[in-house]
Structure 1
Amino acid sequence: MRARVDDDESGRRQVHDACLEPCAIERGMRIIGGKWTGSILWHLKDGPVRFNDLSRMIGGASKKMITERLRQLEAQGLVKREVLDTSPVSVHYEITDFGRTALGFLDQLRQWSEDLPEGIAEASGA
């Protein structure tokens, strides 16, 4: 449902028919907008990656945070986890076909971010 905004007789803004559920952008951000989520998917785009290699690729994120995000992504069907029968046992992660559907706009986000005017990234704390 789409919200309609207009002014009443006193000039105050009134919202009519507001959405009770999150809009499509909000739903998408709830899935992909978590810290490190996009980075994890991006680093899995070229094929399976072992957990320790993935944690090295994502500088600044703790192993605990990466584990938490990977579990969320797996539960959402964006990432597949596979335990390898090696000695010692290791685990690798792979992006699913569904997860690959996010790569297009992640690449657009990457490009947009690279094209930001000088000073904007610094001002945002990035």
Structure 2
Amino acid sequence: MGPEYSEKKKTPGITAEPCGVPCPIERGMRILGGKWKASILWHLKDEPVRFNELTRQLDGASKKMINQRLTEMERQGLVIRTVLKEKPIAVSYRISTEGRSALHILEALKEWALDKAL
């Protein structure tokens, strides 16, 4: 490899300074980066959604996976679980204030993705 491969490309306005462990990007990805987490937040942005409806909206995700992510997100304070009925169990989820604070990130990601051709 020649020197052209070892040179780091600079992005204007972005500095590559060392960050603490974990760095803010890594912390953010730990919160939102789990598979289906961002999609779940996006689907909850307008109104509470019952679990079964959420599984229909997230076509391709298993109920087990969605349940795991919702449990994690509830523990992180991103969503709020409400029991609607005990037998048979019926629950709904809504986005918390903490979860809502991430929506601008997801909106920016959506706009960025719309500009990219695959």
- TM-score by length of structure 1 reads 0.75
Structure with more helix by fraction: 2
Map of 2:93 onto structure 1:
93
- Between structure 1 and structure 2, the one with the greater Rg is 1
Map of 1:15 onto structure 2:
none
Within-5 A mapping of 1:1-126: 21-85=21-85, 88-116=88-116, 118=117, 121=118
Secondary structure class of the residue paired with 2:93:
strand
Deviations 1:84-105 (A, max 9, x none): 1366330000000110000001
Structure 2 gaps, min length 5: 1-17
Quick one: higher RCO (CA 8 Å, sep 6+), 1 or 2? 2
Deviations 1:18-47 (A, max 9, x none): 656110000000110111000000000011
Structure 1 gaps, min length 5: 1-17, 122-126
Q: What count of residue pairs does the alignment treat as equivalent? A: 102
CA pair 52-29 structure 1, distance change in 2 beyond 3 A: same
Moved over 6 A (4+): none
- TM-score by length of structure 2 reads 0.80
RMSD, aligned CA: 1.6
Given residue 42 of structure 2, which amino acid in structure 1 is its aligned partner?
W
Map of 2:4 onto structure 1:
none
Percent of aligned positions that are identical: 57
